[in-house]
């Protein structure tokens, strides 16, 4: 059975963007594949070294979100990255197979450095995180890695290391990975910007209470030129309709509303009310499952502990293969 | 009792330069301090990733050299770096506290890149090795680190990380280290170049057989202008006399020979014969102890295994303190 590695950096609770771009797929993928879901705390620390308590808290938040959306610890192995020491060791060996120059030119990292405004102060740990990702992927011999299109250079870097390692140590120890790019990879923020992102403050979180969801929907970006109800409005770039397309199961009703909106005579508030109802219906079961799990934090930690043990077992087998291929298995 | 961390990169057997610059001191230091002696195989791999079998073989060679010169596994903890996974994990957290730029400007690393002729192809692992050294030093809470003067920037980098870590996580977890610079830190190569170095092929190894030592002494660099026995010769920069100064216990005899050489009438061959006798007498007990230990490789590996277990115990306590200061001690 093919192995999938996926996961999230614990820097806050997960939002609708995560659901659409990855969580939803994982619930399907876990039925067909061996799926490892990593809570990447060590990676989060590469650019949040000064906020470890935020990272720590978010580990639990993310775990609750996973369980709430239906990632099943019986079907998926949910684990905490920093508790797999093998990953750090693999990273160290892989760093010797990658040039400093190559890291400097990773397009994803370059874009992120700009986004995060690091300037000259990029932490070294952040620059090397593509190599640590290669360790994550290869440790579990994952051949499928669900990523957004902007993350393709990461898979490329990982595969370069796989090739280089297997060639250098003359053994097919590591497995090449293939990117699995989701159909809908990106949900716009409520402000209409291309991406829902915690940093941009434009998210609806899976754990948001009903009132908060409603408030966020009511201030969502629509067609800025649609000033009077009777005017014709635009659908393209109208975030409320984008969300309806994604979340409203009644396709016919949505089409009807779109026509009406474009003709004129349908006000934003009415469309937003529809979206609010839709999202409340969608989020309600997730929210209530989340609340159930949140009542038993010890139980959730136990799930993470078990998953981490299972993940560690696999990673330690890979590390043992790696050391033996390198000939540094001393005892 | 103060803790010392010291060690060598296993890239071949050790030579007289190692003895004078460090091994001799370690035999003394182990009596006064808690001494950890690290066989730095992971560090050797940062610029020898393609020769792991050489590194592996050298681990045993170096261990034999240690035991032969009198590093006592009862007094010192001799261990293999790559078998302490805590070191890789600490490195990873420290990398988040150091900027990419800072690493680029490490003077020792810059000089070594030039020496090794890496050009644009510096392995990333090599660039980050000062951080991995900080992990080695701090893992054992070493406050004394014997290094050559050219290695001072490494101690500085480690202390910068210590300061930054303790400040960031608001706890005095890591310990500052002090460089311990040996009196005689450097023995010239037999070709007269400033440093004895395997790469330069100008070494006398502790394990060289008598015939090889004699041959090397006979072709040693002296005074290139001392062409006829009756001519006066120079002492400064005359490697044979430099070695006699270091190894010949009969100071008076050496002074007498120096005077004679400078007056004229003392041939190079005679001085070299004296040095050969001196070195043979010095090396003989080391060589025979080495041969004894070499007969029992399993016993030597057992010593390394025990030392590694002891070292790991200490490193894991430090890692636990580090994780708890960062607040990522989940279970």
For residues B148 and A135, the model is more confident at A135
With CA atoms as reference, the chain B residue closest to A126 would be B96
pLDDT at A239: 96
For residue A46, which residues of chain B lie inside 8 Å, CB to CB? 95-96
Residue range A166-171: average pLDDT? 97
For residue A109, which residues of chain B lie inside 8 Å, CB to CB? none
* A217 touching B (Cβ < 8 Å): no
Specify the 3-state DSSP secondary structure of A287.
helix
pLDDT at A278: 98
Residue range A54-83: average pLDDT? 98
Strand A144-146 and strand A76-80: the pairing is unpaired
The C-alpha torsion from B323 through B326 and B327 to B328, rounded to 10°, is -50
Residue A200's pLDDT band, with cuts at 50, 70 and 90, is confident
Query: What residue ranges define each of the domains in chain A, with the CATH number in brackets?
Result: 3-187+297-326 (3.40.50.620), 210-291 (1.10.240.10)
Are A216 and A17 a contacting pair, CB within 8 Å? Answer: no
pLDDT at B185: 63
* B298 touching A (Cβ < 8 Å): no
Distance, in Å, from the CA atom of B273 to the CA atom of B218, rounded to the nearest integer, reads 8
Q: Choose among A92, A102, A169: nearest Cβ to B91.
A: A92
Sheet holding A3-8, edge to edge: A76-80, A34-39, A3-8, A144-146, A178-180
Nearest to B259 by CA among B233, B231, B228, B220: B233
* A91 touching B (Cβ < 8 Å): yes
DSSP letters of B130-197? Answer: HHHHHHHHHHTT-SEEE--GGGHHHHHHHHHHHHHHHHHTTS--S---EEE--SS--PPPTTS-SS--
Distance, in Å, from the CA atom of B28 to the CA atom of B72, rounded to the nearest integer, reads 11
Residue A183's pLDDT band, with cuts at 50, 70 and 90, is confident
Q: Which H or E run contains A79?
A: strand A76-80
pLDDT for A318 beyond 70: yes
Q: Are the beta carbons of B330 and A91 separated by less than 8 Å?
A: no
Distance, in Å, from the CA atom of B53 to the CA atom of A327, rounded to the nearest integer, reads 6
Q: Are the beta carbons of B88 and A89 separated by less than 8 Å?
A: yes
Q: Are the beta carbons of A102 and B92 separated by less than 8 Å?
A: no
Q: Are the beta carbons of A122 and B99 separated by less than 8 Å?
A: yes
For residue A50, which residues of chain B lie inside 8 Å, CB to CB? 168
For residue B169, which residues of chain A lie inside 8 Å, CB to CB? 52
Q: Are the beta carbons of B99 and A120 separated by less than 8 Å?
A: yes
pLDDT for A281 beyond 90: yes
With CA atoms as reference, the chain B residue closest to A320 would be B83
For the ranges A31-35, A69-73, A224-228, A238-242, the lowest mean pLDDT is seen at: A224-228
* A298 touching B (Cβ < 8 Å): no
Q: Are the beta carbons of A85 and B88 separated by less than 8 Å?
A: yes
Q: Are the beta carbons of B50 and A168 separated by less than 8 Å?
A: yes
For residue B103, which residues of chain A lie inside 8 Å, CB to CB? 124
Q: What residues 141-170 of chain A have any CB closer than 8 A to a CB of chain B?
A: 168-169
Low-confidence residues in chain B, pLDDT < 70: 184-185
What is the model's pTM?
0.95
* B82 touching A (Cβ < 8 Å): yes
pLDDT tens sequence across A297-315: 999 999 999 999 999 999 9
pLDDT tens sequence across A201-211: 999 999 999 99
Q: Are the beta carbons of B328 and A41 separated by less than 8 Å?
A: yes
pLDDT at A185: 63
* B59 touching A (Cβ < 8 Å): yes
pLDDT at B12: 95
* A61 touching B (Cβ < 8 Å): no
pLDDT at A153: 94
* B11 touching A (Cβ < 8 Å): no
Specify the 3-state DSSP secondary structure of B78.
strand
pLDDT at A82: 98
Residue A176's pLDDT band, with cuts at 50, 70 and 90, is very high
């Amino acid at each position: 059975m093919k192995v999938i590695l996926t996961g999230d950096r614990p820097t806050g609770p997960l939002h609708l963007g995560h659901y659409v771009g990855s969580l939803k797929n994982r619930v399907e993928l876990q039925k067909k594949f061996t799926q490892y879901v990593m809570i990447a705390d060590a990676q989060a620390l590469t650019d949040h070294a000064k906020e470890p308590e935020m990272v720590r808290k978010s580990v639990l938040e993310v775990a609750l979100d996973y369980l709430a959306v239906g990632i099943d610890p019986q079907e998926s192995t949910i684990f905490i990255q920093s508790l797999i020491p093998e990953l750090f060791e693999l990273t160290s060996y892989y760093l010797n197979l990658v040039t400093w120059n190559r890291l400097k030119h990773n397009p994803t990292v370059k874009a992120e450095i700009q986004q995060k405004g690091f300037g000259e102060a990029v932490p070294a740990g952040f620059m090397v995180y593509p190599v640590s990702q290669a360790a994550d992927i290869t440790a579990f011999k994952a051949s499928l890695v669900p990523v957004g299109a902007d993350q393709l250079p990461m898979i490329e870097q990982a595969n370069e290391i796989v090739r280089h390692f297997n060639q250098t140590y003359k053994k097919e120890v590591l497995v090449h990975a293939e990117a699995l790019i989701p159909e809908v990879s990106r949900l716009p923020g409520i402000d209409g910007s291309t991406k829902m992102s915690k940093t941009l403050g434009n998210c609806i979180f899976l754990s948001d209470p009903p009132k908060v969801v409603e408030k966020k929907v009511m201030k969502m970006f629509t067609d800025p030129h649609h000033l009077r109800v009777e005017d014709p409005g635009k659908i393209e770039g109208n975030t409320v309709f984008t969300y309806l397309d994604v979340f409203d199961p009644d396709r016919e009703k949505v089409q009807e509303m779109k026509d009406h909106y474009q003709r004129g005579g349908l006000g934003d508030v009415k469309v937003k009310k529809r979206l609010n109802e839709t999202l409340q219906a969608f989020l309600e079961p997730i929210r209530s499952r989340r609340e159930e799990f949140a009542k038993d934090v010890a139980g959730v930690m136990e799930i993470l502990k078990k998953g981490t043990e299972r993940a560690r077992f696999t990673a330690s087998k890979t590390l043992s293969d790696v050391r033996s291929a390198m000939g540094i298995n001393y005892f």
